[in-house]
Structure 1
Amino acid sequence: MVRMPATTARSAETRQNILDAAQRIMAHKGYSAVGINEVLAEASVPKGSFYHYFASKDLFGEALLKSYFEEYLADMDRVLAQPGRSAAERLMDYWQLWRETQSFDECQGKCLAVKLGAEVSDLSESMRLALKEGTDAIVARLEQTIAAGLTDGSVSVEGTPGETAQVLYDMWLGASVMAKIHRSLAPLDTTTAVTRRLLHA
């Protein structure tokens, strides 16, 4: 096993601390409203050192989203790979976790795709592409699990697994925005019921 030099390891850890701090703040405030110094203060990193870790705020935003989706997809994989449960049960477990995540802070949630999607897609092409890559990976996992549900008989859909996965993800994303607007989980509860009907689960 090759070990990184101590200085390189510390640099990588500090970089990740900055990304983690930015994720916590931007989940509440959005992207444009957050300054670099606020992020550095939250991460306990000296002011003026930002460009040692990131060449620009644009590349920082791209790295932030990639880091977020890496963690999100790892959590999603754990939920969708639970042993001893049908594909339909694993899918509904995932949606339940989504609902719980969006219930934080009076339904303001913690999902950066919900919080930043519309905002940064107009600001940065690299961030838009990072969002596209991350959300495409989510939809691909849903598609695979729906296909597994067709095989184990726990799911039945009218269209293809890919079409159904995309419709479900779009629906949940929209419901999450509405939950933020209404400060209520009602849109997500309605979407849960519709999801069950679409999957015949």
Structure 2
Amino acid sequence: MGKDTQRGRLVATAAEVFHARGYAATGVREVAGEAGVPHGSLTNHFRSKEALGLAALDHYAERLEATMAATLANPDLAPRERLEAYFDRIEALLDDGGFRRGCLVVDLAAEIPPHSEAIRIRLAEVMSRQSGAFEEVLAAMLAGRDGGRAGDLGAFLMAAWQGTMLRVKVERSAQPLRRFRRVLAREYPPRAAGA
């Protein structure tokens, strides 16, 4: 196995295992074993668990941001449809996992900040980009009638969504998603044609 292939496998496996079991509860030997890579090879690629955690977070964030780009930034959809497409896609992923997992970004945010300044900073960057994607679609939805509120609304929507991800994981149910989407539909109903 090539060095880049081995590193990529370690990163993808770490993202998966941290997501499934938690960062603190997962040892680097466990990640190496699940990746089918000798523990010594892991230490050749990552000087610490924190470095592996950063790489895993980046890997997960890239996949999530690709989903956001394909949905929230899709110019072929009306702004309201972009939001629906994003939430549809995430709900399908959660359903496939039996609603046992929420979002790795949210999980790490709940677990890491007191222990790792580097991961805390990276989480803040990832959340800022995600909030910005919501801000852009909300600004387009509210075109000319948001009174400069899109930034605050994007951050608020992101926080509500993150809370929903936690509830999904705790309740192991689609109910928090459905509740979130009902409120979203009431607060941001589709605009009537010509409105």
Is the TM-score greater than 0.5?
A: yes
Alignment CA distance shift 1:159-1:97 (3 Å): farther
Unaligned runs of 5+ in 2: 191-195
Counterpart for residue 186 of structure 2: 197
Give the C-alpha shift of residue 83 in structure 1. Answer: 4.2
Matched letter for residue 73 of structure 2: A
Q: Determine the structure 1 residue equivalent to 2:163.
A: 174
Alpha-carbon distance change, 64 to 23 in structure 1, aligned in 2, over 3 angstroms: same
Deviation at 1:158, TM superposition (A): 7.4
Distance 1:31 1:77, change over 3 A: same
Quick check: 1:114 aligned with 2:106? yes
| Partners of 1:18 and 1:40 within 8 A in 2 | yes
Tell me the residue number matched to 2:15: 23
Deviation per CA, 1:114-141: give whole Å up to 9, x if none: 3222111222111111111111101111
Instruction: Tell which deviates more after alignment, 57-66 or 108-117.
Output: 108-117
1:104 deviates by: 3.9
Which residue of 113, 121, 134 maps to 1:129?
121
1:100 alignment counterpart? 92
In 1, Cα distance between the equivalents of 2:185 and 2:148? 15
- Residue aligning to 1:52: 44
Shift of 1:110: 5.3
Q: CA deviation at 1:63?
A: 1.6
In the alignment, structure 1 segments of 5+ residues that lack a partner are 1-6
CA contact (8 A) 1:104 1:110 kept: no
TM-score between both structures, scaled by the size of structure 2? 0.88
Query: For 2:53, which of 38, 55, 61 is the aligned residue?
Result: 61
In angstroms, what is the RMSD of aligned CA positions?
Answer: 2.0
**Partner SS, residue 200 of structure 1:** coil
Secondary structure of 2:39's counterpart equals: coil
Larger mean Cα displacement after TM superposition, 94-103 or 24-33 = 94-103
Alignment partner for residue 68 of structure 2, among 65, 70, 76?
Answer: 76
Kept in 1, the 8 Å contact 2:23–2:111? The answer is: yes
Q: Who is 1:4 aligned against?
A: none
Task: Give the deviation of 1:12 after TM superposition.
Answer: 2.3
* Residue 175 (structure 2) pairs with residue 186 (structure 1): yes
Partners in 1 of 2:102 and 2:173 — Cα distance?
15
